[in-house]
Amino acid sequence: MAAEPVSAEPRPTGPRRLLARLRDLMARGAAPLSDVARLVAREMVAEVASVYVSRPGDLLELAATEGLNPDAVGQTRLRVGEGIVGLCAAAGEVMNLPDAQNHPGFAYRPETGEEPYASMLAVPVRRAGRILGVLAVQNRAPRHYSAQEVEEAETVAMLVAELLAGGGAEAGPREGVGGAMPRVFSGLSLAPGIVLGPVVMTGGFRLTGRMLTDDPEAEVARLDAAAARMRRRLDEMLGDGRVPDGEEAGASRDVLEAYRLVAGDAGWLRRVAEVIRGGLAAEAAVQRVAGELHERMRRIADPYLRERLADVEDLAGRLLAELAGATTPAIPPGAILIARRLGPAELLDWHGRGIAGVVIEEASPAGHAAILARALGLPALGGVRGVLAAANAGEDAVLDADGASLILRPEEDVRRVCLRAIETRAALLEGQAALRGRPAVTADGTKMRLMLNVGLALELDQLERTGADGIGLFRTEIAMLARGTIPDTAGQAAFYAQVMDAADGREVVFRTLDLGSDKLLAGAEAPEEANPAMGWRSLRVGLDRPAVLRRQLRALLLAAAGRPLSVMFPMVATVAEFRAARALLEAEARRVRPAPERLSVGTMLEVPALVFQLGSLLEEADFISVGSNDLMQFLFAADRGSPALAARYDLLSPPVFELLDLVLAAARAARGGVGVRVSLCGEAAGRPLEAMVLAGLGLTSLSMPASGLLAVKSLLTGVDLPSFREVLGALRGSAAGAASLREPILGWARERGLAV
Ligand code: PEP
Ligand code: MG
């Protein structure tokens, strides 16, 4: 039965009355959604108020309504993305439409009897970052709902979310139920290592207790006191030496200082106080504002800004703990922390409490948590969507950051394998350490040059730990991303000089700024692009806005101070671009004294078009370095950041072999047979099997992450390249059309007892 239309009189006591009524309703116990819908319709002067809840299979089901046909409850279902309600859930955004029926997304459901209603306000019901449903309000008259009404509906949606998640509602979706089956997740390795241990979880705040207040000023006072306590504790924590010392102190201290600034920033706390004054209890208000920020963050492409907002989320968690007066409970030894997002201070805190590894749903390798995890030597995995919802605290998990995977509730045999892997890894690391001082020479006597990929000062000690032949790729943008700014010429020169000093005469290949796409600095000019990886990034920006590039080139020349200098340009797509970049470097070189003893100028080869310009490129470049990360992405048209595509296209496949053959043959023949140096510096070079194949194809110089260097050296010292080449040639001959030759190559290596 449809409700009587309510007269459109102004509300007597404003939005607080709705919250007060809801408070009364909830005080009587778990409120049915139908009562909530009735109250919303009455207090918001709406003819219709409905609650849709998420159902398995990406569906939304009408769970309660005041105003639509009650027979449609439990019957009407929309797909996420279908209709206004579905669009609201899909985008996680408020839809405020005076003329909903003429919106292109409108989906008419005759059983609901909704044709008389023109305007619609749909608000996502969200909890811990997940959409649990939609609250929809409708009116006959076309109208745009006011900002105050939107805010009111959002507050109600938050209460509905608690009802749904708490199981208090008759139609609550199952959430956070992990089940007992093992689950495997893949992600991005942020810091290496393997751990087996019990899960502890953080993030996705769980509210308990009251959500509304009738004494907002007392709540604001409670908030202020809690915020002051939180700031005091942060000052103590950041001052007590828990931040790792040594080379990494620069980057991690900068990260933490930025965090402290956010903690002291009154803006977001003011917003919390504002929400409290609207009738929410302090805890609920903190959660509400953290949720708003999370939503804003989802839409921000700039990783630096996203990290700042992550800091606010981190702080919100601390503030909730302060409000609850909670003392931190002990965690089981060797625990694996699973978090949705993690700010740097929180990670430090958890590290202090003894976690052995960390999994972060939303983290990128250039993010602050990743930087700190590496500095703390904590195995870490990022970009693992949905793991919080699937995990249960206390159950075991295997975190294999080397293999970029997480297994929840591993079976007994998986646990055994994992324990063996941990032991093997420890033994391997020990055995490999012995290889550090030995030259990298294959069994047949081929001398290999194994270099490091480095980006932060804190990684420089890896040169000694691995005994690398130098730095084959110094990613100059990484330290700038960690600090959030591009230092001036003197600051950059000091940093580059520090890198050259650490290399102590070994070659360092400095790659000029490779910013853009996923590597953006705050405030950077960043056009809206559908495909930023193929957009205005890297050298393209450097050539169009040469001031920053010239400053960097000058800093490199100053840092060299007469020593040999190697500079490499990223994302070169044409010889003309290389020429233009080289000309900028040479122009700077004419002005800096003392001139470098030798200036080597090279290019990354990561854009396939360059392969077809090798003839002239090799006349002009002193060396080339194959960037297989981007080259694979562009060769196979496969986003390198997409976990879904990670296993689909293989470097160990015929098209890649053909391409590398072309490059190596051209480089050998270049300059009248004198040849031009070729190296490969993608992540693949750090994986032993890949490194063996690359050596088999003829590469003698590889640059890789430090974590792979000794394992690669260990394998290469056991390989007889001529025998392997024969096998590889035969496999290639017989495998036309194969997507990958990994399995047979792996089989060959295993048969020979090689540690792949
Ligand atoms: C590459 O693309 O292979 C590479 C080494 O550069 P980056 O990973 O920094 O893009
Ligand atoms: Mg690249």
Provide the CATH number for the domain around residue 632: 3.20.20.60
Sheet of 59-66, strand order? 77-79, 59-66, 48-55, 130-139, 119-127, 95-97
pLDDT at 7: 40
State the closest ligand 1 atom to the C-alpha of 682, by its place in the atom list counted from 1: 3
Q: Are residues 630 and 692 in the same domain?
A: yes
- Domain of 349, in residue numbers: 183-427
Active site residue 144: no
The amino acid at residue 206 is: R
Q: 475 CB less than 6 Å from ligand 1?
A: yes
Q: Report which protein residue has its CA nearest ligand 1's atom 4.
A: 627
Catalytic residue among 88, 294, 351, 681: 681
Q: Which of 364, 456, 475, 605 to mutate to test the pocket of ligand 1 (most atoms within 8 A of CB)?
A: 475
Residues 422 and 454 in one domain: no
Q: Does the beta carbon of 605 sit less than 6 angstroms from any atom of ligand 1?
A: no
Distance (Å, whole) CA 538 – CA 552: 13
Identify the nearest ligand to the CA of 681 by its number: 1
Residues 199 and 89 in one domain: no
Contacts of 146 (CB under 8 A, 6+ apart): none
How far, in Å, is the centroid of ligand 1 from the Cα of 629?
A: 5
Question: From ligand 2's centre to the CA of 629, what distance in Å?
Answer: 6
Residue 68, in any domain of the structure? yes
Q: Do 681 and 632 have their domain in common?
A: yes
Choose which residue among 189, 604, 625 to substitute to test ligand 1 binding: the one with the highest number of ligand atoms within 8 A of its C-beta: 604
Report d(CA 121, CA 132) in Å as an integer: 17
Give domain status of residue 7, yes or no: no
Single residue among 427, 451, 480 that ends a domain in this structure: 427
- CATH code for position 263: 3.50.30.10
Half-sphere exposure of 344 (CA within 13 A, CB side): 31
Structure pTM?
0.60
**Among candidate residues 383, 398, 427, the one where a domain is terminated:** 427
pLDDT at residue number 9: 38
- Which residue out of 681, 690, 703 has the highest number of ligand 1 atoms within 8 Å of its CB and is therefore the one to mutate? 681
Nearest CA to 165 out of 96, 223, 214, 211 is that of 211
Task: Extract the residue ranges of the chain whose pLDDT is less than 70.
Answer: 1-16, 27, 29-30, 128-129, 165-180, 203-210, 237-266, 293-313, 326-329, 344-345, 364-368, 371, 375, 458, 482-484, 517-526, 641, 643-644
Q: Same structural domain for residues 374 and 271?
A: yes
Last residue within a domain, chosen from 405, 427, 449: 427
Are residue 304 and residue 448 in the same domain, yes or no?
no
Closest residue by Cα to atom 6, ligand 1, is: 627
In a shared domain, residues 221 and 156: no
Nearest CA to ligand 1 atom 3: 627
Q: Is residue 79 domain-shared with residue 146, that is, in the same domain? A: yes
Residues 399 and 467 in one domain: no
The answer to the question of residue 754 being in a domain is no
Domains: count for the chain: 3
Q: Which residue has the tokens 């942020």?
A: 190
| Same domain? 200 vs 239 | yes
Degrees, nearest 5: CA angle 593-596-598: 150
Question: Is residue 460, in this structure, part of any structural domain at all?
Answer: yes
Ligand 2 centroid – CA 631 distance (Å): 8
Catalytic residue (one of 88, 294, 351, 368):
368
Atom of ligand 1 nearest to the CA of 627: 3
Spatial separation of the C-alpha atoms in residues 629 and 634, rounded to whole Å: 9
pLDDT of residue 269: 83
Q: How many CA atoms lie within 13 A of 341 on its CB side?
A: 28
Residues 215 and 136 grouped into a single domain: no
Residue 89 lies in a domain: yes
Ligand 1 touching residue 290 (CB < 6 A): no
Task: Determine, yes or no, domain membership for 123.
Answer: yes
End-to-end, the C-alpha distance of the chain in Å comes to 70
Any ligand 1 atom below 6 A from CB of 629: yes
Q: Is residue 725 part of a domain?
A: no
CATH of the domain at 110: 3.30.450.40
Establish if 433 belongs to a structural domain. no
553 token code pair: 């080139």
Q: Under a CB-based contact definition with an 8 Å cutoff, are residues 755 and 714 in contact?
A: yes
CB of 682 closer than 6 angstroms to any ligand 1 atom: yes
Q: Judge if 138 and 234 occupy the same domain.
A: no
User: Please, are residues 44 and 152 in contact by the beta-carbon 8 Å criterion?
Assistant: yes
